[in-house]
Each structure stands twice: as C-alpha cells, then as structure tokens.
Chain A
Amino acid sequence: MLTERSVLAPGAIEARARNLRGEHVAEPPITEPARPHYAPTSERSLRPVDAAAAFGVGERVRAKSMSVPGHTRTRLPGYIRGHTGVVDIVQPAHVLPDTNAHFLGENPQHVYTVRFDSRGVWGPDAEPFALTVEMYESYLETTA
C-alpha cells in the first residue's frame, strides 16, 4: 500500500535494508505521496449505525463463499466461507476494514458473533466443539 500510494518508491525498503547491512546501493528518489481525500470520523472503530441489524440472535446464517469483484473480505477467514452457523450475539457496529483500510470509506455495519459446529466445518470425524467467529454483516447471507 505504501508504494501504491507513492509514500515509498518501489524498491526503497530493499535498497535501504541492503545499505543497512553494509552494501552500497543507490536508493530510489523520494516520491510525492498521493494523499487520499479521506479523514476518519472518529479515532476508534466502533460507529453508531441507523439501520436495524439484518440478522437476529438464533437466526441461521451462511458465510458467503463467492468474492464480490473489487472487494476482498479481509476479515472473513477462508475456513469458514460457505458454512452455516447461528447468530449468538449481535455486537456493536464497526467500520469495515475491507474498505476503510483502502481509503474507500468506513462503511460501518453490524457485526455478529456466529456459532458453528466443528463437524459442519471440518467434517464428521472432527473433534466435537463449537467455534465462534465475528462476521461483518456484508459477509453473511440468509439460508432460506
């Protein structure tokens, strides 16, 4: 991200690290950063949202498995994609790191603690246990 935003030139870290260990290599010139038009609305991550929570405690939900073009779900663990669980706790809304970290907006949304059964996730031979994962609302779909 630092090179994408021209905060550092490509190769700048590599060149400096080599010089730090005693080599003499030329470092790329200092670049002019492309500053995003972006300011956080609060220094923390929790945000009030007006919309009601889409899912309620006890509701069955599925972690989406298809990625939406142009969006990466940075906080949706791969092992849980496509699996169905039950909403355990509706947590306070937070900013969505997937967009916030890329200066694409805070996109605050409800977060759910979703409970999964180990055998649903890992197969019938798995140790019996429950697993809870926090899911941003846009990571979830109904199982209708």
Chain B
Amino acid sequence: MTTTGGPGDTPSVALRTEALEQLLTERGLIDPKVMNEIITQYETNVGPLNGAKVVAKAWTDPGYRRRLLQDGTAAIRELGFSGQQGEHIVVVENTPTTHNVVVCTLCSCYPWPVLGLSPSWYKDPVYRARVVREPRTVLSAMGLEPDDDVRITVRDSTSEVRWLVLPERPAGTEHLSEEELVALVTRDAMVGVAKVTAP
C-alpha cells in the first residue's frame, strides 16, 4: 500500500517535476545528461572550499584582501573561481563592530563559484522572511549573538549581484598557515550566520 491518495489528489511536486523534465526532454528542449553534469559539478567539484581558500588568502595576504574588498569578482577569479551565479560578486568584511549577513528574500540567489549550491535553510521561507525583519533574533536562534554595539547589515540579494562575507579571523590563529586556516572557514561564516572559531 502506498500513502499517495486516490485519483482526485494533485500529484506531488516531485512527480510534477519529473513529469516536466520528461516532457521537455521528449521535446528536445533539455538534455538530462547536461542537467546531471551541472548538478554533479556544483555538488562535488564546486563548494564552500573555494570560498574558504579565498578567505584564508585574504587573512594572510593584505594586498589580496584589499583587492578582494575592492573588486571581489576579479580577486576571486585570480584563484580560478568564476562562472554561473558569480558574474559580479561583492565581498564585505565582518569586523568586531560590523556584521553582514546574506539572504535572498525573492528566491535563493547564492554565489555558486565560491560556495557551491545553497543549503536548505538558506532557501527556507522562514529564514528569508525573518532575517530581513529581526536579524538578531534569527542569528541568535542559529547560535550567534553579536554584541549590542555591533552594527548589523542584512544583504538582500535581489539582482545579479552576489554577496560573500569575509569573516573575522579568530584570535589565536596567528601561528597557522594559509592551508591550516582554509580548514577552519565554514560555509555559514561566509553567509554571515556564524563566526569562524579557532581550533
């Protein structure tokens, strides 16, 4: 017995998506092999490790940090990262007094070349609706409590501009190499819903 209802029920979103893919494939409008390649590419080859490399380089190379904050797209391309959803990336820095957090209230715009595909919470209507309204409450629920004097800026990605947060380098990491720093940088810190912590 399945739990899907009788003929009167509307088929599930998953089934409707499969139906749409089949119909468009039969009409020669999409190629499932290409779709699978895109998914594999962004699930396995491109991910937050790219962004972590960008952040660790900015932490250890002041010249790179300057270029990154001035022209994010170009500085990120220096490390070989570019492509879809990364045509124009703006990098903003979190400091002891300023905290940036990124959202797309309209859908789920996200800088793929440096962070890969977005996590499900980023696409959640609750996160999208609430973080532009009460960011401190949302960050607190996600385990981050910025001090009262920290100025919070919420970045709503409503156009082709993509935002990447350069997190604050944690104290006590002065002796670590760039490579060791890469391992500390998390996806959530680069969206601005977490801080990077020392090992």
Contacts and interface: CB of A to CB of B under 8 A. Distances in A.
Contacts of A7: 24, 27, 29
A46 B29 CA distance: 25
Contact of A126 (B11, B20, B106, B133): B133
Interface in B99-151: 105-106, 132-137, 151
Interface in B139-187: 151-161
A77 B159 CA distance: 11
Contacts of B10: 14
A1 interface: no
Nearest to B104: A77
Interface residues of A toward B: which range?
A: 35 or more
A30 B112 CA distance: 36
Contact of A129 (B4, B19, B153): B153
A6 B29 CA distance: 13
A64 interface: no
A41 B61 CA distance: 38
Contact of B16 (A17, A23, A122, A131): A17
Contacts of B27: 7, 30
B23 A8 contact: yes
A33 to B, nearest CB: 8
A14 B7 CA distance: 11
B88 A91 contact: yes
Interface residues of B toward A: which range?
A: 35 or more
B4 A132 contact: no
A94 B156 contact: no
Interface string A91-109: 1101000000000000000
Nearest to B98: A130
B11 A21 contact: yes
Contact of A131 (B88, B132, B159): B132
Contact of B106 (A17, A75, A89): A75
A134 interface: yes
B15 interface: yes
Contacts of B160: 45-46, 94, 111
A16 interface: yes
B105 A77 contact: yes
Contacts of A89: 90
Given A129-B153, A132-B153, 10 more contacts: A16-B23, A91-B88, A94-B160, A111-B161, A122-B133, A127-B135, A129-B152, A130-B153, A134-B158, A134-B159
7 contacts: A14-B16, A44-B87, A91-B88, A111-B161, A115-B153, A126-B133, A133-B156
- Of all A-B residue pairs in the complex, the 9 with the closest CB atoms, nearest first, are A17-B11, A16-B19, A134-B159, A17-B19, A129-B152, A17-B15, A130-B153, A45-B160, A94-B160
